[in-house]
Structure 1
Amino acid sequence: MNKFACLLMALLGAHTAHAVTAPLTQGELNALADNLQIRYQLIDSMPQQCPEPAKQCYFSELQLRSPQRYSGADWAIYFSQLMPIYQVESDVFRIEHLNGDLHRLTPTEQFAGFSADETYSVRFYTEHSQITRSEFMPNYILADKSERLRPRVVASTRSVRDEQTRLEQQPYLAPFESYHQLRVSNKDQTPWMGAAYLAQHQSEPELRAAPEGLIPMPREFKVVSQGRISLKKGIRFELTGLDLAQIEMAGKRLAQLGVKQTQKGLSVRVTVDPSLPIAAQGYQFNSSTHLIDIKASGAAGAFYGVQTLAGLMDLKTHSIPSVAIADAPRYGFRGLHIDSARNFRSKQFVLDTIAQMGAYKLNKLHLHLADDEGWRLAIAGLPELTKVGGLRCLDLSETRCLLPQLGAGTGTGAPRNGHYSQQDYSEILRYAKAHHIEVIPSLDMPGHSRAAIIAMEARYRALIAKGKTEAANEYRLVEEADETRYSSIQHYHDNTLNVCLPATYRFVNKVLTELQRMHERAGIPLKTYHIGADETAGAWLDSPACKALNAKQSIASMNGYFIEKVAAMVAEKGITVAGWSDGLSDVNPEKMPKNVQSNVWSTLSEQGHKVAHKQANLGWDVVLSLPDVTYFDFPYQSHPEERGNHWASRALDTRKVFEFMPDNLPVHAEFWRDVLHHTYSADDSDSALKPGVGYTGIQGHLWSEMIRDDLQAEYMLYPRLLALAERAWHKPAWAVPYQGGLVFSRSSGHFNDKKRRLREQDWQRFVALLGYRELPKLTRQGRFFRIPTVAASRRDDGTLNMFSEIPGFKLEALINGRWVNYHPRLDFDSVDAVRAALEDESRTGRALPLPAPVESGKH
């Protein structure tokens, strides 16, 4: 190399070194975010040994690669990790837990910069367990350390939509291929529910068409004649004792399904007469070629009678059978809980869900409107609640928004952000009323209140800046002198209202007053308010206000004190108080109002029946909200690709909901397993229900931590919602009557062979109606339900046997890269994967490869 070339290289080197010292520019940050490749690999979900102090952990690796060179160290990557990272193995990167699930990755002094296409790795241990793919959040955010620039989502960490299934895919997440990515410990026996497992454990459908009947099943159902009644000319309502508005939405559903109201249509005579000997919400239904006659003692029963007309209808022929039905609900409370707080559910999603709730005779919508990650209802006079508390973005000061938990990213227009205006809420209330559904709002307190706390701090700062100290402190929820250190179950250190501050109760009263006014303006009085009151996390221990209050009153439970005080406030407004069972366990029942609704969410496999029995014996209205059967945010099956949480159930499919016997909770120990797939026993010897005591009803739950958009929400909801409606409305002949004082286990034998046969017959009826009749109706109405995965096994002659537990789908096999229609002569060994699809091929279900992983983790 000559002297000129050496001088040129030196100059270039000097220029490069000078460029490295310059601050990161917006253009450089954008380019790096757009091109940086980040890949996450779950190495082992059950390491043989966890670094201290954790007893349970999992081991993971992040890989970073940039196709372009950047030598600066003035950047940070923010990402969601549901469980805190507590040990990092890397010389070039550090990771710190900030709050909730938010972590920050930054380069150390040893980081020499990104070289083109060089991969950098960081391995780390995380507390507890995380094993379904949906628990590994997307939308990593690249920012500059000085916070001068606009942060940007790293493009490679965005999720995408699969074209055939329309399900979320995570290209940033390495494949899950072994049991070390499915199980949480050596004690875990969770099966990998592949095609072979399903063939061994699912029932093959026996019926090739929908039987006469409907979902939910009526109390009495009789086919009068074998002929079909055509509705092709439409229907014509003749009303007595009610107006059209009270059944209008049932008529609208009929029109959506192809049966409109016409002058020449078949007469549908609907009569409401309070003197009729028909139970509340019940109805009588008789159909003939000349008349459909519906009688009820109330408007709700008439509405359900018209929904029964829609339920009986065959979509292809627009006809119904000639039947006589006498019907009434099993429970007065048949509910669904929708979490709009963690990830926002659009108003349209709520309206669409209300329509389906009404179609299947559910009557309570528990709307979860505030939590740590979001406040979703506009409150007059407190705009910060939605302006700040309804938005997640990367603002570490949290003056404009909340921290971006749960993979929220940075965009203000993302579907996970948002709130309901007062007009939106009024529309939801009126639409629910038209479907004979009561809306039960919930703004969770005193725990799960971080959105409210941060929003009221923003209000405080704004008013202090204007010199309005008194107004600033009116609703402030923070005591500056409180030095308590705690961590909530979601790993927040600042999410609990201080229950000893007068401002807390001023805030609660303000919110309740405005909420009640919204209901009054909509013409729909607020009947029930759900406090929440769950999962408080050891706050207030070093609060001066609480120490002073406790010195005066000697309070046994600060959480109980809050619930009792707020419950009295709610009752004074003429509203029934509701709460979660764990919080209500902290109260003195004698200090509670006369009417209390408890949502019992204890897990059955952990003796959850005892909590339900205890609170029902107090005379409270117990609504069964048991996670192992009513939480629809859990996976349908134990498989990494099935989205959902995993702490209470690894497999919660439609059949499990159908099998639920809510009147007899401990009996499930005879045929269900716990979260590690072990058998368990349920001891009711010292916790029996008092004679005559029962439950008010049951409620399904759609929590949203891992459900980032409405399409994913519908996948989790349908078809399990229909099984929930079946159990809430109808008590089957195979249910084991409750008898107190017994111990139930795999060998106790109360659910005998005869009842098992009856259950199987009933399941075959239900699943045929579901697959052949109801899912096509959901398709017609634009709902996105889960297409089932397919069972597959080898016959003795080497051919492929395939079936879908829910019938009515096309079955397909993947052979040499091409999907072909299933036929019984396909060679098993030639098939690489199996799946189900809609008949019109517009969408497919999730494919299962053949074979599934074996327990060694090898294929």
Structure 2
Amino acid sequence: MKPLSRLILTSAITLVMINAWAQASTQPSLIPYPASVTMGKGEFVITPGTGIVFDIKDGFENALAELSRLIPSGKSLPRPSTKVIELQKDAAITSTEGYQIAITGQKVLLKAGKPAGMFRAVQTLRQLLPIAIENKSTEIQSLRLPGLTITDEPAYGWRGVHLDVARHFFSIAYLKKLIDGMALYKLNKLHLHLTDDQGWRVEIKKYPALTEKGAWRTFDKNDSACMRKQKDDPDMAIDPKRIVKRNGKTLYGGFYTQQQLKDLVQYAAARYIDIIPEVDMPGHMMAAIHAFPDLSCEGGSHWGELFSTPICPCKESSFEFAQNVFTEIMDIFPSEYIHLGADEVDRKSWAQSPLCKELMAKEGLKNTAELQSYFVKRMEKFFQSKGRKLIGWDEILEGGISPTANVMYWRSWVPEAPVTAARNGNRVIMSPGNPLYFDNLPDAHSLSNIYHFKVVPEKLTAEEAKFIIGAQANLWSEQVPSENRADYLYFPRLLALAERVWSAHLDFSSFQQRLPAHYNRLEALRVHYRLPDLSGFAEHNVFVSQAILDIKKPLPNLVLRYTTNGSIPVATSPALSKPLVIKQPVTIKLAAFTAKGLRGEIYTLNYKKETYQEPVTVANTKAGLQCKYFKKYFLNTGGMKTLQPDSQFIAPNITVPAFVSAPSFGLQYSGYIDFPETGIYSFYLLCDDGGRLMIGNKEVVNNDGQHAPLEKSGQVALKKGLHPFQLHFIEGGGGFTLQLKYSKGSGEPVRIPDSFFRQQ
């Protein structure tokens, strides 16, 4: 490109006319929604004569390249059209990512103070353009943009996405695709979890054995779980490109060369996305210790009760190894932040080590938590000597923390951690397991939970809240064996997070209205996103004479397909084009499909014929339910069966009172439920961790076990009157969720009125 003070490029766009806007007054379907949008009159039409104008001194080359990619350039014309798209620097816009857009019939003006802001402006313009621009096989003659004015900047500086490439490996091509999706929705930090017990994924030239040995493993229990699940979901199949045969063994693995990662860093930087590398230590280091056994205190590594043997912080050789590794990591990644991890450390081997006892006495360390802090602080000083800032998971608060360390909060069951860190002056990134661990299965509540997530803890003052710098979604890949599965878990949840951390003014109803416009764009970008949930049925359904399966499609272009022989629905399965009458017991597998063949969630619907349960006669009932409280850890609700409760109380409904504060506990609600009329009732039990619902002589919903927030449903046929009621619930630690709703017939699920619950 010639070094002219004013440079004009001209777009040449051919073939089909697409109009993205029916009316200029329509709310634009932008995600995240800008701080201010004012709709204007008319529209700007991009034609082969439209020029793109910018000043080469402004540093907007990346934004220009992106705009030129969206609007393919042809030959230059001798002079520009009077209608132009102009990229203009405005020093008055001080936010690094802030921008303004003004569209009239004569001009599109993009203004920003910094290159990142101009790039964000182009992404907003991209969302205003028709989806056809994403499909390079479709040529477009003219494009229309609505008249409007936008002023925008982010609410938070850290808008992150995490991917664990250690448990399962993901290609550079997929990482670029993820970066492209992040750029579209203005997310700006990609946190790569590069090492763990199950795999070492980054080339370290000083220690080639880390990838020669540590990048490969035999199949583990999570691989086996994925293989079992692939029978019902092809996305759970392990990528065959990651499987090799060596010395008679079948191994899974892979790693990135340093040059591959350097190229990826440049790719992300052109989109104003920082890649934050994580090499997790002192724990989660089994892959490295297998290659270098002397890294641990006892020699080698094995699994303890919960975690693996960590490296030894009492050997200078451990620090030499760590510093050598991070020196090469810093050469690859120029990011301001380096993630040390430092979570889930099994410190038992340290407590037994003579070397550690000697070091603790020398340094005045009272316990192994302070010894871990000693390791973290030494590593932070090394990072600082290289001009970098340390991030650690919130366990780095234990044993003491320096005021300059950055804390990534993840342990939902330690709600004071981000409060303590912020009050200590540490900057905090919010990424709690509920709702920001995206390996937790999505359901109908996921988008709302993410959108309404409180980034700033309520206990913080306005001044303290300044230390909360943003939030991040984490995807741990133990059971994410394919890139399609990763897409399914990321999208559309990332869109809800993107708006939550960018937009200052939040409106979930508006978000829900804007979201459908993005599904087709995601599909055009080959994103294997999760289709909207289907509703109008339960997992376990009953009927007395017959049932009717009648589903309202969440998107008009979906086709519902089903099977009754136990097979998975495919694109050629029968279409559910009209209500299906069911008169005999049957199991139906159901899924939605897009026109391009993308399949949504596979639902298994069991139908069983029943007679109405008879009510019971009970005299002198009172409001509420009896509840037994167990202060103990349970794997499932059955663990409470033979135990005596620690206490009992009367509950007005299915809620957990504030005085139930044990880290792990169980609750047994019992009494009666009074139904005002005879009918088929559906129940929806959302819980984290496990729960079971029994009405009369029937288990209606089984949502038992240790798991993240998950809703399950079931039906029961009941006559009017009182019916015995039991709900058992357990919380294993980490923050609980408990919600029970019901519906009758085809009605919407609602909260059960307190007046329904009775006890003696």
**What's the TM-score, normalizing by structure 1?**
0.58
1:545-584 aligned within 5 A: 545-556=355-366, 557-582=370-395, 584=396
Check whether the contact 1:623–1:697 (CA below 8 A) recurs between aligned residues: yes
Q: Secondary structure at the match of 1:281?
A: coil
CA pair 448-852 structure 1, distance change in 2 beyond 3 A: farther
Partner of 1:310: 126
- The residue number in structure 1 matching 2:694 is none
State the Cα distance separating 1:768 from its structure 2 match.
Answer: 3.2
- Tell me if the contact between 2:35 and 2:151 (Cα under 8 Å) persists in the aligned partners: yes
Secondary structure of 1:271's counterpart equals strand
**Residue deviations 1:292-343, cap 9 Å, x none?**
1000010000000000001112326943321100000000111111111111
Which residue is 1:451 aligned to? 287
Higher strand share: 2
| Counterparts in 2 of 1:318 and 1:810: CA distance versus 1, 3 Å | farther
Matched, 1:763 2:512: no
In structure 2, what is the equivalent of residue 600 of structure 1? 409
Match of 1:386 in 2: 211
5 Å-filtered alignment, 1:582-731, equals 582=395, 584-589=396-401, 592=402, 594-603=403-412, 606=413, 608-637=414-443, 653-663=446-456, 665=457, 693-731=466-504
1:790 counterpart (534, 540, 558) = 534
2:688 maps to what in 1?
Answer: none
Match of 2:522 among 778, 785, 796: 778
Contact 1:231 1:318 in 2 (8 A): yes
Higher RCO structure, 1 or 2 (CA under 8 Å, sep 6+) = 1
For 2:355, give the aligned amino acid: A
In the TM superposition, residue 732 of structure 1 has moved relative to its aligned partner by 2.8
Residue 478 of structure 1 is matched in structure 2 by 296
- For 2:603 and 2:164, locate their aligned partners in 1 and report how far apart those are by CA, in whole Å: 30
Show structure 1 runs of 5+ residues with no match: 1-208, 395-402, 458-475, 520-524, 638-650, 667-683, 734-761
Amino acid at match of 2:147: S
| CA deviation after TM superposition for structure 1 residue 510, in Å | 0.4
% identical equivalent positions:
27
In structure 1, how many angstroms separate the alpha carbons of the residues matched to 2:575 and 2:251? 37
Given that 2:60 and 2:118 are in contact with CA atoms closer than 8 Å, whether structure 1 keeps it comes out as no
Q: How does 1:285-364 map to 2 (within 5 A)?
A: 285-315=101-131, 318-364=143-189
| Distance in 1 between residues matched to 2:499 and 2:106, nearest whole Å | 30
* CA-CA distance at 1:839 after TM superposition: 3.7
Q: Residue in 2 aligned with 1:515?
A: 329
Contact 1:234 1:262 in 2 (8 A): no
Structure 2 distance, partners of 1:547, 1:783, is: 53
Contact 1:336-1:366 within 8 A present in 2 as well: yes
Does the 8 Å CA contact 2:560/2:593 hold for their aligned counterparts?
no
Maintained 8 Å contact 1:236/1:262: no
1:803 paired residue number: 552
Number of residues of Structure 1 aligned to a counterpart in Structure 2 = 541
In structure 1, C-alpha distance between the alignment counterparts of 2:406 and 2:113, rounded to whole Å: 26
User: 1:852/1:314 Cα in 2 relative to 1: closer, same or farther (>3 Å)?
Assistant: farther
Given candidates 275, 278, 283, the residue that maps to 1:439 is: 275
2:46 and 2:581 map into 1 onto residues whose CA distance is 45
User: Does the 8 Å contact 1:245/1:434 carry over to 2?
Assistant: no
Matches within 5 A, 1:846-857: 846-851=601-606, 855=700
Quick check: 1:497 aligned with 2:311? yes
Equivalences for residues 114-513 of structure 1 within 5 A: 211-225=27-41, 227-231=42-46, 233=48, 236-240=51-55, 241-243=57-59, 245-248=61-64, 250-251=66-67, 254=70, 263=76, 267-273=84-90, 275-315=91-131, 318-393=143-218, 406-407=223-224, 411-412=243-244, 417-457=253-293, 476-480=294-298, 487=304, 489-490=306-307, 492=308, 494=309, 496-513=310-327
Q: Are the structure 2 counterparts of residues 600 and 852 from structure 1 closer, same or farther at C-alpha, using a change threshold of 3 Å?
A: farther
Structure 2: gaps of 5 or more residues: 1-24, 133-141, 225-237, 566-571, 609-698, 703-713, 716-760
User: Which one-letter code corresponds to 2:287 in the other structure?
Assistant: A
**Counterparts of 1:426 and 1:814 in 2: how far apart (Å)?**
47
Structure 1 residues 731, 498: CA separation in 2 closer, same or farther (over 3 Å shift)? Answer: same
> 2:59 touches 2:115 (CA, 8 Å); kept in 1?
no
Q: For 1:229 and 1:617, how far apart are their aligned partners in 2?
A: 50
Q: Deviations over 1:521-566 (max 9, x none)?
A: xxxx341111100011123121121011122223132211111111
Q: Distance in 1 between matches of 2:523 and 2:438?
A: 20
- Change in 2 beyond 3 A, CA 1:848/1:486: closer
CA contact (8 A) 1:287 1:324 kept: yes
Query: What's the counterpart of residue 353 of structure 2?
Result: 543
Residue 311 of structure 1 aligns to a residue whose secondary structure is: helix
Letter in 2 for 1:271: Q
Contact persistence 1:478–1:498 (CA under 8 A): yes
| Cα distance in 2, alignment partners of residues 261 and 447 from structure 1 | 55
Instruction: Work out whether residues 210 and 768 of structure 1, in 8 Å CA contact, stay in contact via their aligned partners in 2.
Output: no
Amino acid at match of 1:447: G
CA distance 1:555–1:253, shift in 2 (3 Å): farther
TM-superposed CA distance for 1:705, in Å, is: 0.7
CA distance in 2, matches of 1:702, 1:446: 21
Deviations 1:170-224 (A, max 9, x none): xxxxxxxxxxxxxxxxxxxxxxxxxxxxxxxxxxxxxxx9842300000001110
Alpha carbons of 1:216 and 1:808: their partners in 2 closer, same or farther (altered >3 Å)? farther
Q: Compared with structure 1, are the counterparts of its residues 232 and 765 closer, same or farther at alpha carbon in structure 2 (3 Å cutoff)?
A: farther
**CA deviations over 1:482-506 (Å, ceiling 9, x no partner):** 9x9971534x3x3x01110111000
Letter in 1 for 2:511: F
1:788 deviation in Å? 2.9
Q: Secondary structure at the match of 1:844?
A: coil
1:488–1:535 Cα contact (<8 Å) kept: no
Structure 1 residue 654: Cα displacement: 2.5
Distance (whole Å) between structure 2 residues aligned to residue 822 and residue 228 of structure 1: 41
* Distance in 1 of aligned mates of 2:271 and 2:375: 35
What residue identity is the alignment partner of 1:846? Answer: E
Aligned-partner SS, 1:428: helix
Once the two structures are superposed, what CA deviation does each residue of 1:673-731 show, in whole Å capped at 9, x if it has no partner?
Answer: xxxxxxxxxxx5xx777655451000111111111121211111111111111111013
Alignment correspondent of 1:186: none
Q: Distance in 2 between matches of 1:481 and 1:825?
A: 66
Displacement, 1:789?
3.3
Alignment CA distance shift 1:479-1:599 (3 Å): closer
Name the CA shift for 1:813/1:515 in 2 (closer, same or farther; >3 Å): closer
Change over 3 Å in CA distance of 1:488–1:808 after alignment to 2? farther
Corresponding letter in the other structure for 2:407: S
CA pair 808-434 structure 1, distance change in 2 beyond 3 A: farther
CA distance in 2, matches of 1:541, 1:321: 67
Question: How far apart are the structure 2 equivalents of 1:811 and 1:785?
Answer: 16
Determine if contact 1:789/1:848 at 8 Å carries over to the other structure. Answer: no
- Cα separation, 2, equivalents of 1:843 and 1:391: 32
Q: Given that residues 559 and 593 in structure 2 are in contact (C-alpha distance below 8 angstroms), is that contact kept between their aligned partners in structure 1?
A: no
Q: Residue 721 and residue 565 in structure 1: after superposition, are their counterparts in 2 closer, same or farther (change >3 A)?
A: same
Cα distance change on mapping 1:385 and 1:845 into 2, 3 Å:
same
- Assess, with a 3 A threshold, how the Cα gap between structure 1 residues 372 and 253 changes in structure 2: closer, same or farther: farther
